[in-house]
Amino acid sequence: MKPEKKIAVFAGSFDPFTVGHLDLVNRGAKLFDELYILVAVNASKKYMFSVETRKAMIEKACCDLKNVKVFSFDGLTTTFMKNCGAKYLLRGVRNGSDMDYELSVGWNNKTLYPECESVYMASAPEHLAVSSTVVRELLKCGIAKNKAGRDKLAKYVPAEILPLVVEFGGPK
């Protein structure tokens, strides 16, 4: 009997994708046969980057990872998981507050989809302060206007997508 593929989903808004996200994807890709990055689509939420741009950024940053695929989906993560046969949900945690939140979400996901096992991965120490929110705030404040600012932004965003982040998220 052939063993079942271990398929995991890493879901989020990724607005934008950060070095912290990429670190989790690199580590998660080693644990699972397939890792699906699911870009959230929520009509009631205002994003800095379109779903198409977010998806393109992630595909560019993860292009060397052969077992990683990027999707967008308008609906519950557990519905997407059922549809693609995934049984694992990869979640990153930076601190105790993140863990409290993720445990609650994990319980709800398990209620909606009993086969769902949440796998919590601690952020690498160098990425504890990295978040999409911080990147968006830096962009809103004009950090991308000059080379020195873009060099600082490179500590938060994968090098492969920095030009896209600057182009699509820079000052309007």
What is the average pLDDT across 4-27?
97
Are the C-beta atoms of 58 and 70 separated by less than 8 Å?
yes
Kindly state the DSSP code that residue 75 receives in the 8-state scheme. Answer: S
Tell me how far apart the alpha carbons of residues 137 and 140 are, in angstroms, rounded to a whole number: 5
Catalytic residue among 2, 30, 44, 45: 45
Residue pLDDT, tens place only, 126-158: 999 999 999 999 999 998 888 998 999 999 999
Residue bearing tokens 């990027």:
70
Catalytic: 127? Answer: no
Residue 170 pLDDT > 70: no
Cα angle 9-14-149, degrees, rounded to a multiple of 5: 145
Residue pLDDT, tens place only, 16-49: 999 999 999 999 999 999 999 999 888 778 899 9
Catalytic: 45? Answer: yes
Provide the residue count of the chain. 172
Catalytic: 5? Answer: no
Specify burial of residue 118 (Cβ count, 10 A radius: 0-12, 13-18, 19+): middle
Q: What is the dihedral of CA 61, 65, 66, 68, to 10 degrees?
A: -70
**Bridge partner list, 7:** 34
